[in-house]
Amino acid sequence: MFKKSKKIYEDAKKYIPGGVNSPVRAFKSVDLDPIFIEKGKGSKIYDVDGNSYIDYICSWGPLILGHSDEEVLDGIDHILKNGTSFGVPTEIEVKMAKLIVESYPSVDMVRMVNSGTEATMSALRLARAYTKRNKILKFEGCYHGHSDSLLVKSGSGAITFNVPTSPGVPDYVVKDTIVCKYNDLESVEKAFNEYGDDIACIIVEPVAGNMGVVPPIEGFLEGLRDITSRYDSLLIFDEVITGFRLSYGGAQQEFGIDPDITCFGKIIGGGLPVGAYGGKKHIMSNISPLGDVYQAGTLSGNPLAMNMGYNLITKLKDNRNIYKELEKKAIKLENGLNDIIDNLNIDCHVNRIKGMICLFFGKGPFTNYDDVKECDTEKYSIFFKKMIEEGILLPPSQFEGWFITYAHSDEDIEITIEAANKALKNTYNI
């Protein structure tokens, strides 16, 4: 089934650490070798051996409309022929910034970067400079990219590979990173009681999407807004996953919260490398060359990513029905999985909010990192393998969300549920 992939992997291992350019692609935690992909169209992805899968990785989020959407790709040929990077500004950067500012009331100005990691790293620098404080507060199991000060008790591949705090991150860097429990305001109050006047910001995934999917409990985000305001600290929403996904206006619209800085990522590039951070004018105007907080990028705002992102976001703006559809599909999948869980009487649990969903191998409830850590990852691995045999590509880790797109049809969801029924029976020897 994976002959060509295996051959490429043998070569890949010689030249690339672990054979992959990002750890979760290795499929190591599910005890498989990676598959190498040839192409994707709509909800489907095709590997080099000619196997096709209904895809729930979907590039980890940006492909809200599925792979190779014609409207998202519109105009790309023209750009390819007329220059892909100039090192001087282009008009599409301005159109893109205007579109984001008009869509997010909390964002008066926005700066483009090349990844989510750069967006959060730059947002922290800005928050520290603006408040003239050094400490930052993050939550266990939240992932904000791999910059040093945020790679502490981190989610995503960092939990998957059991290195939530990476070697190579010096103690003097993380001494200013305070880590609290997600969905636990008491732990945040305690930290602020002790260090409040030194805390520059709280950074949070408003819906945690890097320890599976863990929504905020009622009052959690409101509590973070309140406490940061009381202490003149900034609230940073990392909406790299939720921005333009949970709803058009992201989690801040959904929960009615007004953060000081918002980080965006992959989605605003429609599948090309991008990130951005934006916020209130009095904060953003501290960034160079307007202010003296330095942050730069040779390829930032490059025309290819801007154009694809602009096409995607414009389509989402003009067709809000997409969000209803994403949720409808996620509910259909949730109901299907819950029926199987009930029928088989197994300890599995579905977490879902809007179009974001995942299946935990444990009884639940799952509201924070401690809960999620207790999941049976061996069972997830058996389940994953069986699903791949059935033509369903899930994230190769228990600690990631499943990405549903507008391109997933009702039939795709039905096939997925049927496959999950077989795979769960197999996993639990039923």
List residues with catalytic annotation: 143, 238, 266
What is d(CA 32, CA 299) in angstroms, rounded to the nearest whole number? 35
Q: In this chain, which of 113, 137, 236, 240 binds ligand PMP, going by CB under 6 A?
A: 240
Contact mark string toward ligand PMP, 54..93, x via CB under 6 A: ------x---------------------------------
Question: 141: phi > 0 → left, psi -120 to 50 → alpha, else beta; which?
Answer: left
Piece of 48-56, 76-84, 162-170, 204-212 that binds ligand PMP (CB under 6 A): 204-212
State which of positions 328-367 bind ligand PMP (CB under 6 A). Answer: none
Measured from the CB atom, is 210 or 228 closer to ligand PMP? 210
Measured from the CB atom, is 357 or 417 closer to ligand PMP? 357
For residues 204 and 259, the answer to whether their CB atoms sit within 8 Å is no
State yes or no: residue 199 binds ligand PMP (CB under 6 A): no
**Closest separation in Å from C-beta 392 to ligand PMP:** 21
Contact mark string toward ligand PMP, 128..147, x via CB under 6 A: ---------------xxx--
Rg for the chain, CA atoms, rounded: 21
Contacts of 262 (CB under 8 A, 6+ apart): 104, 106, 107, 236, 237, 239, 243, 250, 252, 277, 278, 279
The tokens describing 111, both together, are 């700066």
Measured from the CB atom, is 12 or 241 closer to ligand PMP? 241
The tokens describing 300, both together, are 């930032």
Measured from the CB atom, is 124 or 350 closer to ligand PMP? 124
What is d(CA 399, CA 371) in angstroms, rounded to the nearest whole number? 11
State yes or no: residue 127 binds ligand PMP (CB under 6 A): no
Piece of 111-119, 195-203, 316-324, 328-336 that binds ligand PMP (CB under 6 A): 111-119
Q: In this chain, which of 5, 117, 233, 416 binds ligand PMP, going by CB under 6 A?
A: 117
The tokens describing 17, both together, are 């650490």
**Closest separation in Å from C-beta 156 to ligand PMP:** 6
Which amino acid is located at 289 in the chain? P
**Closest separation in Å from C-beta 236 to ligand PMP:** 11
Q: How far apart are the first and last CA of the chain?
A: 26
Which amino acid is located at 50 in the chain? G
Nearest CA among 410, 428, 406 for reference residue 72: 406
Contact mark string toward ligand PMP, 19..58, x via CB under 6 A: ----------------------------------------
What is d(CA 143, CA 146) in angstroms, rounded to the nearest whole number? 8
Measured from the CB atom, is 211 or 393 closer to ligand PMP? 211
Nearest CA among 416, 403, 402 for reference residue 358: 402
What is d(CA 241, CA 232) in angstroms, rounded to the nearest whole number? 27
Measured from the CB atom, is 235 or 423 closer to ligand PMP? 235
Measured from the CB atom, is 122 or 367 closer to ligand PMP? 122
Which amino acid is located at 244 in the chain? F
- The sheet with strand 402-403 has its strands ordered as 349-353, 356-360, 402-403
* Torsion angle in degrees (nearest 10) through CA of 307, 312, 314, 316: -170
Piece of 27-35, 237-245, 347-355, 373-381 that binds ligand PMP (CB under 6 A): 237-245
State yes or no: residue 153 binds ligand PMP (CB under 6 A): no
Look at strands 135-139 and 199-204 and give their pairing: parallel
State yes or no: residue 265 binds ligand PMP (CB under 6 A): yes
How many residues bind ligand PMP, per CB under 6 A? 18
Instruction: Give me the residues that bind ligand PMP (CB under 6 A), please.
Output: 60, 115-117, 120, 143-145, 156, 205, 209-210, 238, 240-241, 265-266, 275
